[in-house]
């Protein structure tokens, strides 16, 4: 993942073309559906890296392609197995994009478009604690500790609930709570890198079906 994007763009685009042709050859030969899907995964990765990642417009196309591919693959597994549990960052499973400066549709929204209310998502919020993330300027995964959530944000208010840790369904919450959940406020939307330059603003009630709020989290032990 670090080295491949550094290869010449012409080389990456040629690889994507060969991967796509390989998938088409397998399809014509009537290859087993699971094997064909595995080949499609490889082709999708090659296609994502065939964009010019140093160009902002091309980068957005690559991000959108990735979200669509992840949604399509999840729906494929769900239809094949009957039920699928997807585990990902809040920013992927949500129904909205917390980064308005980057106008692309999110995996969760794309999944719901295909299977409707058969998709139920869960968002996590927390008040304080530790987690693992990559530094934005590069480097190995490391433990990050953050203090209490700032006043005015979603997490700060949720932590005032009398339960230390709790979950609730935003779709069936009382009217007063749904009104509060419908307004966008600052929210921690932490992905693979931290700190992040963008300042996410999220209306929890429109982004998630269910919310799990934890007072304190702890980083997983790295192997």
**Tens digit of each residue's pLDDT (9 = 90 or more) over 132-143:** 999 988 889 999
> What is the chain's mean pLDDT, rounded?
95
Please check the confidence at residue 114 and state whether its pLDDT lies above 80: yes
Please check the confidence at residue 37 and state whether its pLDDT lies above 80: yes
Q: Are 168 and 211 in contact (CB under 8 A)?
A: yes
Mean predicted confidence (pLDDT) in 31-58: 96
3-state class (DSSP) for residue 216: strand
Q: Are 210 and 169 in contact (CB under 8 A)?
A: yes
Mean predicted confidence (pLDDT) in 55-78: 96
Name the residue ranges covered by the structural domains of the chain.
4-91, 122-217
Residue 142 is predicted with a pLDDT of 94
Three-class DSSP labels, 110-152: HHHHHHHHHCCCEEEEEEEEEEEEECCCCCCCEEEEECCCCCC
> pTM value?
0.92
pLDDT band at 199 (very low <50, low <70, confident <90, very high): confident
Q: Are 154 and 124 in contact (CB under 8 A)?
A: no
Element at 167 (helix H, strand E): strand 166-169
Rounded-to-integer distance, Cα 120 and Cα 23, Å: 31
Could you tell me the two tokens for 163? Answer: 């339960």
Beta partners for 108? none
Please check the confidence at residue 146 and state whether its pLDDT lies above 80: yes
Please check the confidence at residue 15 and state whether its pLDDT lies above 90: yes
Architecture of domain 122-217: 3-Layer(aba) Sandwich (3.40)
Please check the confidence at residue 217 and state whether its pLDDT lies above 90: yes
Mean predicted confidence (pLDDT) in 37-41: 97
């Amino acid at each position: 993942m670090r080295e491949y994007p550094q290869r010449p763009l012409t080389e990456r685009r040629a690889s994507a073309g060969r991967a796509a042709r390989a998938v088409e050859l397998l399809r014509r030969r009537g290859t087993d559906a699971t094997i064909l899907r595995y080949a499609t995964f490889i082709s999708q990765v090659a296609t994502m890296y065939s964009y010019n990642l140093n160009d902002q417009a091309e980068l957005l196309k690559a991000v959108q392609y990735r979200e669509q591919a992840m949604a399509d693959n999840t729906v494929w597994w769900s239809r094949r197995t009957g039920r699928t549990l997807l585990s990902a960052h809040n920013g992927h499973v949500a129904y909205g994009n917390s980064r308005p400066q980057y106008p692309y549709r999110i995996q969760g929204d794309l999944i719901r478009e295909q299977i409707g209310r058969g998709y139920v998502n869960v968002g996590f919020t927390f008040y304080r604690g530790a987690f693992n993330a990559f530094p934005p300027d590069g480097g190995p995964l490391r433990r990050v500790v953050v203090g209490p959530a700032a006043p005015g944000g979603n997490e700060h208010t949720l932590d005032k609930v009398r339960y230390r840790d709790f979950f609730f369904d935003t779709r069936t919450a009382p009217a007063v709570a749904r009104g509060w959940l419908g307004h966008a406020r600052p929210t921690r939307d932490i992905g693979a890198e931290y700190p992040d330059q963008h300042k996410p603003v999220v209306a929890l009630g429109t982004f998630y079906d269910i919310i799990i709020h934890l007072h304190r989290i702890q980083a997983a032990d790295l192997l």
